[in-house]
Amino acid sequence: EVQLQESGPGLVKPSQSLSLTCSVTGYSITSNYWGWIRKFPGNKMEWMGYISYSGSTSYNPSLKSRISITRDTSKNQFFLQLNSVTTEDTATYYCARSPRRVGPDYWGQGVMVTVSS
């Protein structure tokens, strides 16, 4: 069974970088597409970007200057880095497998990240 698990610090200071890891079991990240999604307080959700089976990436234009998604295929993990965070980046962050033309089918449980000094 495909399983995803997010990990990372729950508190980040404004202007610093947010770094999260998604650990995948039961499926290789060298296949398919893998995305990051966040849910803000108040429940609005945002698709942040994804990394493909080949390592190519695509990012939400609203984040393009601040976001980076990378991977370590030897550990079957992919990563989110979001730079210059503000309090508006406070959210629950999810990783998901997202087959092309199907959308996210397996999700992690999410990790809550608060941006505060």
Partner 1 sequence: DIQMTQSPSLLSASVGDRVTINCKASQNINKYLNWYQQKLGEAPKLLIYNTNNLQTGIPSRFSGSGSGTDYTLTISSLQPEDFGTYFCFQHNSWPTFGAGTKLELK
Q: Which residues bind partner 1 (CB under 8 A)?
A: 4, 43-47, 60-61, 94, 101-110
In the chain, the amino acid numbered 33 is Y
**Number of residues written out for the chain:** 117
Q: Which is nearer to partner 1, 16 or 47 (CB)?
A: 47
Order of strands, sheet of 3-7, starting from the edge strand that comes earlier in the sequence: 3-7, 18-25, 77-82, 67-72
* CA nearest to 112, candidates 94, 96, 88, 97: 94
Q: How far is the CB of 36 from partner 1 (least distance, A)?
A: 11
Q: How far is the CB of 14 from partner 1 (least distance, A)?
A: 26
Residue number with CB closer to partner 1 (16 or 107): 107
Nearer to partner 1, 38 or 71 (CB): 38
